[in-house]
A and B are shown apart, each in its own frame.
Chain A
Amino acid sequence: MKLNKNTKQVDVCIVGSGAGAGPIAYELSKAGYSVIVLEKGGWFDEQDFFKDEQLTRKGAFKSNTKYERHILEEPTAKGEWLSYETGQFWGGNIVGGASNFMSGYFHRLKPEDFRLVSEFGKIAGANTVDWPISYEDLEPYYTKVEKIVGVSGKVVQHPNLEPRSTPDYPFAPTWEHPIANWFDKSCKNLGFNPLPMARGILSKPHNGRNSCEYSGYCGSYGCHSGAKASSRAALLNTAVATGNCKIIPYAKAYKINTNSKGNAQSVSYYDKTNQTINVQAKIIVVACYSIESSRLLLASQTKEHPQGIGNKYQQIGKNLHCCAGGTGHGIFDLNNFSQQQAKDLKVRGPFFNRALQDWYFINDKKTFAKRVKGGTLDFVFDPPSPTADANTLKREDGKLIWGTALKQKIKKHFTETRDFKYEVFCDWLTNDNCFVSLDTTNKDKWGSPVAKVKVGYHPHDLKVAQYLVDKGKQVMHEMGASQVWGNAFSSPTPNLIAGGLRFGKNPKTSALDADCRVHGTDNLFITDGSFMPNGGSITPTFTIYANSFRVADLIKDSIRSL
């Protein structure tokens, strides 16, 4: 075929470059196939990632809301719907995506997460379904991620430990914070099982990446050493080095075109100068964050798919989930502790790395009539954001303070207290009021309709989250915090959105087949978190990596026949 200068031809074209995209680019380029990765943002690396609070405060690596935004629809306390523009769902719009800025809590799902309905029964008002694959299908790929992407940790036996094919993680735990032992002791006093938390962070050099430098600036900051398991550092650099993978930054994909059989034929994108380019590919993979992947399919209205690709049964964008849970805090007044304990609490650099999964399943008749799915508590020190912290201190009883009063309040906050935090992760039950659609009026700078994100929640989520938040409070009290508080949330966790294109056997209740291929097509795959029918009670990145490696193998099998 004769191609003009605005057409490229390739074996595999991937839209997006984050955790769902990296494994496909890595595996297919290593297998000798030509790959193009289209990334909307720029291409930055370790040399760009200064520990500069302004980079995060100014959103330097995120989409500019002036050009692109979302319309959020959230329920009010009165049960009405409130609608407004937001930029909160942009998590990192550069090569490697939000995985550049994650904290890297790498928990695996548990076998029961793959069969919630069979295990716990249906919940009225929720759209929960069993997965078309089992934990056993994904297990080898978790193991692969641990080895290739690099996961550090230590396996400790506990009642809810998921089955593993290897005895331990390939990388030893990262350097631990001195108060981790203090936490372990307090948990044991309470009869809880403290767990070391696995991290997508290297404790020793691997594949051209350095090990962690322990600067104490991790989550929300780009990684300077390459230790953080971003898709860029861990996979895309290797893919590019094969000579088979080309990453095109500032390439904004806006439509997938289909052929007469309804299969994906090419991706149209705007380049840096707003010219339209088409990439023709045998296989097209979409992995640009749940909301945007749904948006791209809905916007790709072709002759064969007039309502958007794969949308014959109105499943595209449906069953989005936003990670339910909550947070809690313990404020530790250093004056209440020994000199050594105070010194330990002030250490910055090593990781805390502790979690509790005692209530991943809750069997407590006093609160729930039957056994229910619970969640995970991760304990962390927030990455430093001193200027933002100081700004929260400038009022007392709603009134500005200044002079010595302000200075002493700031000094006490920084030098005499430490804020120790825990985060609760639970399933956000999928329901008819949580989905992505195209907004009818608001357009991005290229003229495409922006995504409208409706985030209705199920009240069951709050009950479960509150149960876990209360457990975290117990730990904080036991450790000697002088102030303790915590809340369950009903709002979405913007960086942990998944679903929207769930996989399943029935095209009438799912968007993808078990291989993550869009129903009604032979060659269009979705490999970000969109495929998940439920998020599990953990952060999804590890699972997205694992599933993407699984789909990469399936693509390798099917591309030969195309």
Chain B
Amino acid sequence: MNNSIVNIDNILNSKNNFTKAYESGLSRRDFLKLPATSSLLAGIIHTKPIFAKLKSTQNTFNKHQNKTMLAVQQILFPNDGDGPSAYDLNALRYLHWALSDPDNIADGDPAYLIKGLVSLDVFTEDLNAKKFIDLSINQQNTALEQIQLSDFGENWLSLIIYYLLEALLLDPAYGGNPDGIGWKWLEHQAGFPLPSKENSYINYMFNYET
């Protein structure tokens, strides 16, 4: 066998238009089970970051955690004079909605994000004797640069960016991208008909859930 099967182009751009990696039929959880050398694993950059599931009963942020998440999102997607910021995109509100999706709960996302928020304060209190939200913008950025160096930190930030980009580009029906602000900035032409709150994808997930 002369050809490497780990072929990213195969997965990301496979031949027919409906076989993108995110549509490979595997849930993100299924990726956990894949052997490291499988061709599907190469498609992982299309998918949500994966991690060992955390056992936690807490699935919603408290007030301080909300503030911290908002601050983190603003660093990741700031108001820099060109395009909407995380705040403009309703990224936090969108995140709350996304974390109520049973699939995302099953992936362990809420607990994972909360663990990261708690760890972030522990980290900055160690380093700067302050909670994350009490740091200057520059210090906040530096703190995120540093936590990125750990696998956990990298996964955690990657997951927040994953949801941020959903708030930027998914249909406004899901709570982010208000009035198509993200689409307008990126000159993205949406299709039609568009979903409404009453016709979200969640309504269609019952196919097969007999």
Q: Which residues of A contact B (CB under 8 A)?
A: 41-42, 44, 48, 50-67, 74-79, 82, 84-91, 93-94, 98, 101-103, 213, 215-221, 224, 250, 272-274, 323, 325-327, 329, 346, 348-349, 380, 382-388, 390-392, 394-395, 399-400, 402-404, 406-408, 410-411, 414-415, 421, 423-425, 459, 462, 485-491, 493-496, 539
Contact = CB atoms under 8 A, between A and B. Distances in A.
Contacts of A219: 16-18
Contacts of A51: 190-194
Interface string B164-208: 011011110110000000010111111111110001110011111
B131 interface: no
Given A54-B171, A215-B191, A220-B23, A103 B7 contact: no
B4 interface: yes
Interface string B149-172: 000001001100110011011110
Interface stretch (B39-47, B50-58, B62-70, B122-130): B39-47
Contacts of B20: 56, 220, 385, 388
B17 A327 contact: no
Interface of B: 1-7, 9-10, 12-27, 30, 33-35, 37-40, 45-46, 75-78, 80, 82-83, 103, 141, 144, 148, 154, 157-158, 161-162, 165-166, 168-171, 173-174, 183, 185-195, 199-201, 204-210
Contacts of B46: 388, 391-392
Contact of A423 (B16, B78, B200): B16
A392 B12 contact: yes
Among A102, A400, A462, residue most surrounded by chain B Cβ atoms (within 10 Å) = A400
Closest 7 CB pairs of A and B: A87-B25, A219-B17, A51-B191, A220-B18, A217-B191, A414-B186, A54-B201
Contacts of B192: 51, 213, 215, 224
B31 to A, nearest CB: 10
B205 A224 contact: no
B16 A390 contact: no
B156 to A, nearest CB: 10
A194 to B, nearest CB: 20
Contacts of A424: 15
A418 B169 CA distance: 18
B161 A42 contact: no
A346 B189 CA distance: 10
A400 B148 contact: yes
Nearest to B191: A51
B169 A390 contact: yes
A380 B17 CA distance: 9
Nearest to A58: B201
Contacts of B14: 327, 489, 493-494
A196 B37 CA distance: 40
Contact of A82 (B35, B82, B174, B193): B35
Nearest to B196: A50
Contacts of A491: 5, 7, 10, 39
B77 A87 contact: no
Nearest to B23: A56
B76 A406 contact: yes
A307 B21 CA distance: 36
Contacts of B169: 53, 386-387, 390
B169 to A, nearest CB: 4
Contacts of A75: 1, 5
Among A77, A94, A380, A415, residue most surrounded by chain B Cβ atoms (within 10 Å) = A77
5 contacts: A42-B207, A44-B204, A82-B5, A87-B26, A407-B78
Contacts of A61: 204, 207
Contact of B25 (A50, A62, A425): A62
A392 B9 CA distance: 12
Given A392-B45, A400-B154, A414 B5 contact: no
Contacts of B35: 82, 84
Nearest to A425: B15
Contact of B191 (A88, A221, A395): A221
Contacts of A216: 189, 191
B162 A60 contact: no
A403 B15 contact: no
B201 to A, nearest CB: 4
Nearest to A63: B208
A59 B24 CA distance: 9
B39 A102 contact: no
Given A77-B4, A346-B187, A539-B16, 19 more contacts: A56-B20, A64-B209, A79-B1, A218-B17, A326-B9, A384-B189, A387-B170, A390-B165, A392-B45, A394-B165, A403-B75, A403-B80, A404-B78, A408-B82, A410-B186, A491-B5, A494-B19, A495-B18, A496-B15
Contacts of B201: 52, 54-55, 58, 60
A423 B208 contact: no
B25 A88 contact: yes
A483 to B, nearest CB: 13
Contacts of A67: 208
B13 A421 contact: yes
A459 B207 CA distance: 40
A424 B13 CA distance: 12
A406 B162 CA distance: 12
Contacts of B39: 74, 491
Given A216-B191, A392-B12, A495 B2 contact: no
A117 B5 CA distance: 29
Among B18, B46, B83, residue most surrounded by chain A Cβ atoms (within 10 Å) = B18
Nearest to A416: B187
B17 A86 contact: no
A78 B1 contact: yes
A79 B158 CA distance: 35
Contacts of B157: 400, 402
Contact of A52 (B188, B195, B207, B208): B195
Given A400-B161, A406-B77, A84 B18 contact: no
Contact of A89 (B25, B27, B82): B25
B157 to A, nearest CB: 6
Nearest to B24: A88
A50 B78 contact: no
A103 B18 CA distance: 8
A182 B38 CA distance: 39
Contact of B83 (A213, A218, A411): A411
B23 A402 contact: no
Contacts of A384: 188-189, 191
Contacts of B1: 75-79, 490
A435 B178 CA distance: 50
Contacts of B174: 54
Contact of B75 (A402, A494, A539): A402
A527 to B, nearest CB: 21
